[in-house]
């Protein structure tokens, strides 16, 4: 077993501090959800380090506004925008078809949280469809671009993965009562398992994939959550032994950047990071950590198979 990875960074580190002294000139990145929340700060840090960055956003107009602001702030005019609706396979495939050339960094950052029960036209539960299926299809679609240069894929997960494993016999809540936190939790577990299986399948392709918990950050991600919901989550965290501490978006993006640029994770896949270092295994009384089921090899393989069958896509050539 490899030694646990720690870094000089921590809870209060910002994304810009992580990339200080890092030169990403000639590197190309895609950030899904790059027009809001920690996505903006992820784009800012990558652009500040010299990368060409494409913001993949549902709202292209909002994306263009952010791109203009960040170009002015960083002096990098290579920040582009492309429309992407993760719940629409047509939109995902259009993004894939429009991509030309190599891709060095794919940051699967976009997501929805704790939504009321909503189904896509296919009947898929919205959170799983957005947070996992959309990014699965996007990543496999971009496989050739990622393999061309060797690349890192970073999946933004959450400590909420501790709420639920992937419930394979009823992923879409067709038979069990819908619970929005369990639905969110299993989608975040899927983000981690995706990297576990990709690490096995793509070990010889020069592509690595890892996941992270950004921390508690107040952004548009919480638009479906009331103040009472947030206070309840904070209370439960306190009961687990550690009250929830909030981060700024700049701090929340830092762990993403560690996985994207740090030489300490070179060649490593299937990891899960918190506060800029590899997370410890979860244990009773811990509010964070990595659940056993989120790095289970059998579950990871099953998720990949289910995802391919559901989306009707095969292993990329």
How many CB atoms are closer than 10 A to CB 138?
Answer: 25
Residue 214 CA, chain-centre distance (Å), reads 9
Are 32 and 110 within 8 A, CB to CB? yes
- H or E segment to which residue 30 belongs: strand 28-32
Strand 105-108: give its sheet, edge to edge: 79-83, 52-57, 28-32, 105-108, 151-156, 207-213, 272-274, 277-278
Q: Return the bridge partners of 278, or none.
A: 273
Nearest to 128 by CA among 224, 143, 137: 137
Of residues 315, 15, 258, the one with CA closest to residue 143: 315
Q: Show which residues are catalytic.
A: 184
CA angle at 231 for the pair 229 and 234, rounded to the nearest 5°: 110
CA dihedral 176, 181, 184, 187 (to 10 degrees): -60
Instruction: Say if strands 151-156 and 246-247 run parallel, antiparallel, or are unpaired.
Output: unpaired
């Amino acid at each position: 077993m490899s030694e646990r990875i720690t870094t000089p960074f921590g809870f209060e580190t910002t994304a810009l501090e992580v990339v200080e002294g890092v030169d990403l000139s000639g590197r190309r990145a895609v950030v899904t959800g790059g027009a809001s929340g920690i996505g903006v700060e992820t784009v800012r840090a990558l652009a500040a380090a010299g990368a060409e960055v494409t913001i993949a956003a549902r709202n292209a107009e909002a994306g263009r506004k952010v791109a203009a602001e960040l170009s002015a702030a960083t002096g990098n005019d290579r920040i582009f925008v492309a429309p992407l609706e993760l719940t629409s396979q047509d939109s995902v495939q259009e993004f894939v078809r429009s991509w030309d050339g190599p891709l060095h960094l794919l940051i699967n950052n976009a997501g929805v949280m704790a939504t009321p029960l909503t189904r896509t036209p296919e009947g898929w539960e919205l959170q799983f469809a957005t947070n996992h299926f959309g990014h699965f299809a996007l990543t496999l679609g971009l496989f050739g671009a990622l393999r061309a240069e060797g690349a890192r894929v970073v999946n933004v997960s959450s400590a909420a993965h501790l709420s639920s494993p992937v419930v394979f016999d009823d992923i879409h809540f067709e038979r069990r009562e819908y619970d929005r936190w369990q639905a969110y939790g299993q989608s975040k577990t899927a983000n981690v398992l995706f990297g576990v299986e990709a690490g096995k399948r793509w070990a010889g392709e020069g592509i690595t994939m890892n996941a992270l918990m950004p921390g508690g950050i107040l952004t548009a991600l919480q638009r479906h959550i009331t103040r009472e919901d947030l206070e309840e989550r904070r209370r439960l965290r306190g009961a687990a032994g550690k009250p929830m501490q909030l981060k700024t978006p700049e701090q929340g993006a830092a762990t993403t950047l560690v996985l994207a640029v740090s030489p300490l994770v070179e060649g490593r896949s299937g990891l899960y990071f918190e506060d800029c270092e590899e997370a410890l295994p979860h244990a009773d009384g811990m509010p964070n950590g990595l659940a056993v089921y989120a790095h289970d090899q059998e579950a990871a393989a099953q998720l990949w198979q289910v995802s391919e069958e559901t989306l009707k896509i095969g292993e990329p050539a």
